[in-house]
């Protein structure tokens, strides 16, 4: 898309755009299917309706909208389209895009909600400097979009609500939700990763945790729901799409073990060039990284430089002054928190890499961002894959019962998220052969009842939106007929 074509569309917005006319202009740049279009049109027509008085709650209804949909149904596409529509109106600055992790935020060109709202990682109170920075940032904001809400916990939702009030200079006890922002949009898929800390939005609050209770109360205010259901990622490979649907409903059968034909025999296979490897354990990551690094350097006739490195993200349990030879270190599996000695950093010029910490969110240097020549070759954890689309990948779907803290639901999510990144089965490769027990994880039954509740809300939302649209068309035609 050239700038001039965007400017040309801007000129075509005219003096009195409607949600419909604006969405048509957006769709020239960002294709939208029927449901995607319906959502974009509704959001843009609301934004047009209260443009002059966004914070006067007596003249507009607050929209608390939840956009759900399985991986690849085009949720990120809807986010892009809303932002583009606001950009056409010269109102892009009113939109704030956030997500629970740096990688997820980077995927939509936003920031983590921690950064955007001044929520510290330990969830302590914001300092006065942070408060003034946030207030400045939020001065003109009217729309917040939070992506990947499956990773948000109930307490965090309550905190986001409080911090939005602070950002909009409202009292903590104000009854306004989310600082009275006219539009709050949550986007995600609960079949993908759950929060690391507290209960997901669909789970029951923890006992004696008031913040969880408030979080649940807030979640239940999201009564406008749209569930995108047209698969836009796996459009070319229908049998892979069916396989994914079985994976999503936890109904894979022994026939699906035919997947084992995708098991790789060697990471050095030339047809795996460019395929990302997604693994669950650091020890496997370490091994894969070394093999890929050697392959990379050999192909380019380059040296590999080996640096001893400190694991800044883990607590070293052993003495820090052990002297080890590089050869000894190379034999050590990198087991995360239990390693008693420094780690190793292998470097070869131009190697593909993934950043493991948030360095500068404004520049997209966030945990999970991919680049070249600054790290090691594989994606080190399945959490970082969420939100991306891959043409080719080597997946580690083998269940590892020794990984602690992962319940069956999380294992189910891990398998589904890894598989659903791919466009087709052609690009799918397995790191290890599977047994039936590796495929037998199911979604939590409580999630299934939440999905039913959301489906019911979707029916009501669609009926209400259709009514609104009929009224809008009727009012417009009456206004057009009225003499000047």
Ligand X SMILES: Nc1ncnc2c1ncn2[C@@H]1O[C@H](COP(=O)(O)OP(=O)(O)OP(=O)(O)O)[C@@H](O)[C@H]1O
DSSP string, 274-323: TPEEE-S-HHHHHHHHHHHHHHHHHHTT---EEEEE--TTS---S-TT--
Task: Assess 440 for contact with ligand X (CB under 6 A).
Answer: no
CA dihedral 195, 199, 203, 208 (to 10 degrees): -170
Two structure tokens written together for 62:
């607050």
Segment interacting with ligand X, rule: CB under 6 A, options 25-33, 118-126, 243-251, 349-357? 25-33
Give yes or no for residue 387 binding ligand X (CB under 6 A).
yes
Under 8 Å between Cβ of 152 and 146: yes
Positive or negative, the CA dihedral 49, 52, 53, 58 is: negative
| Of the candidates 382, 386, 436, 434, the residue with the CA atom closest to the CA atom of residue 406 | 382
Rounded-to-integer distance, Cα 201 and Cα 151, Å: 9
Q: How far is the CB of 241 from ligand X (least distance, A)?
A: 12
- Window contacting ligand X (CB under 6 A); options: 66-74, 357-365, 426-434, 472-480: 66-74
Q: How far apart are CA 140 and CA 136, in angstroms?
A: 8
- Which position among 19, 54, 71, 198 is part of the footprint of ligand X (CB under 6 A)? 71
Distance CA 432, CA 440 (A): 16
Position 84 contacts ligand X (CB under 6 A): no
Q: Which is nearer to ligand X, 194 or 348 (CB)?
A: 194
Q: Of residues 233, 285, 286, 295, which one binds ligand X by CB under 6 A?
A: 233
Rounded Cα gap, residues 225 and 223, in angstroms: 6
Q: Which residue is nearest to ligand X (CB)?
A: 74
Task: Kindly state the smallest distance separating residue 440's Cβ from ligand X, in Å.
Answer: 23
Q: Is 389 in the site for ligand X (CB under 6 A)?
A: yes
Q: Does 340 bind ligand X (CB under 6 A)?
A: no
Pairing of strands 428-430, 393-395: parallel
**Residue selected from 49, 170, 232, 370 as contacting ligand X according to rule CB under 6 A:** 232
Is residue 309 a contact partner of residue 323, using CB atoms and an 8 Å limit? no
75 makes contact with ligand X (CB under 6 A): yes
Residue 397 token pair: 């779907």
Binding of ligand X by 189 (CB under 6 A): yes
Q: Give the rounded distance of the alpha carbon of 128 from its chain centre.
A: 30
409 touches ligand X (CB under 6 A) = no
73 binds ligand X (CB under 6 A): yes
Q: Which is nearer to ligand X, 72 or 179 (CB)?
A: 72
| SS3 state at 469 | helix
Distances (CA, A) of 37 to 5, 22, 318, 339: 21, 11, 57, 51
Contact region with ligand X (CB under 6 A), list: 64-72, 126-134, 197-205, 434-442: 64-72
- Single out the segment in contact with ligand X by CB under 6 A; choices: 28-36, 89-97, 127-135, 151-159: 28-36
Q: Which of 17, 54, 69, 85: binder of ligand X (CB under 6 A)? A: 69
Among 29, 33, 62, 365, binds ligand X (CB under 6 A): 33
Q: How many residues bind ligand X (CB under 6 A)?
A: 18
The window from 75-83, 178-186, 273-281, 460-468 that contacts ligand X (CB under 6 A) reads: 75-83
Residue 72 is a binding residue for ligand X (CB under 6 A): yes
To the nearest whole angstrom, how small is the minimum distance from the Cβ of residue 70 to ligand X? Answer: 7
Q: From the list 17, 54, 74, 343, which residue makes contact with ligand X (rule: CB under 6 A)? A: 74
Min dist CB 430 to ligand X, Å, is: 20
Our finding on whether 77 is near ligand X (CB under 6 A) is yes
Kindly state whether residue 35 participates in binding ligand X, applying the rule CB under 6 A: no
Residues that bind ligand X (CB under 6 A): 31-33, 36, 69, 71-77, 189, 232-233, 387, 389, 420
């Amino acid at each position: 898309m050239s700038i001039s074509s965007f400017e040309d569309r801007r000129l075509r917005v005219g003096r009195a755009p409607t949600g419909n006319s604006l969405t048509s202009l957006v769709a020239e740049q960002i294709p939208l299917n029927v449901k995607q279009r319906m959502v974009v049109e509704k959001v843009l027509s609301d934004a047009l309706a209260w443009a002059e008085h966004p914070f006067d709650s007596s003249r507009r209804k607050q929209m608390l909208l939840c956009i759900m949909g399985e991986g690849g149904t085009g949720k990120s596409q809807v986010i892009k389209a809303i932002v583009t529509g606001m950009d056409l109106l010269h109102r892009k600055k009113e939109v704030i895009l956030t997500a629970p992790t740096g990688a997820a935020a980077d995927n939509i060109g936003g920031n983590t909600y921690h950064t955007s709202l001044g929520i510290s990682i330990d969830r302590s109170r914001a300092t006065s400097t942070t408060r003034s920075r946030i207030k400045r940032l939020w001065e003109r904001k009217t729309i917040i979009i939070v992506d990947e809400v499956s990773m948000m916990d109930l307490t965090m939702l309550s905190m986001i609500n409080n911090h939005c009030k602070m950002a909009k200079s409202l009292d903590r006890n104000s009854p306004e939700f989310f600082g009275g922002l006219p539009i709050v949009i949550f986007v995600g898929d609960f079949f993908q990763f759950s929060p690391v800390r507290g209960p997901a939005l669909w789970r029951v609050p923890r006992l004696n945790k008031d913040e969880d209770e408030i979080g649940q109360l807030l979640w239940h205010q999201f009564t406008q729901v749209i569930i995108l259901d047209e698969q836009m990622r796996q459009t070319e490979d229908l049998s892979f799409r069916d396989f994914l649907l079985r994976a999503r409903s936890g109904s894979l059968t022994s026939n699906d073990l035919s997947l084992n034909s995708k098991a790789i025999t060697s990471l050095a296979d030339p047809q795996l060039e460019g395929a990302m490897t997604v693994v669950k354990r650091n020890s496997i990551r370490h091994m894969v990284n070394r093999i890929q690094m050697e392959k990379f350097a050999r192909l380019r006739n380059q040296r590999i430089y080996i640096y001893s490195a400190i694991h800044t993200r883990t607590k070293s349990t052993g003495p820090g002054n052990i002297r080890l030879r590089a050869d000894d270190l190379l034999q050590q599996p990198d087991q995360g928190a239990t390693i008693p000695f420094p780690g190793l950093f292998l470097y070869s010029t131009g190697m593909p890499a993934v950043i493991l910490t948030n360095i500068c969110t404004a520049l997209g240097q966030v945990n999970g961002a991919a680049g070249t020549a600054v790290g090691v070759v594989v994606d080190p954890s399945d959490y970082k894959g969420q939100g991306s689309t891959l043409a080719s990948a080597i997946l580690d779907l083998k269940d590892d019962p020794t990984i602690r803290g992962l319940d069956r639901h999380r294992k189910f999510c891990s398998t589904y998220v890894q598989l659903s990144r791919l466009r087709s089965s052609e690009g799918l490769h397995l790191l290890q052969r599977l047994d039936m027990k590796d495929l037998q994880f199911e979604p939590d039954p409580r999630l299934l009842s939440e999905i039913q509740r959301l489906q019911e809300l979707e029916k009501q939302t669609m009926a209400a939106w259709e009514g609104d649209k009929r009224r809008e068309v009727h009012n417009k035609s009456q206004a057009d007929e009225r003499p000047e």
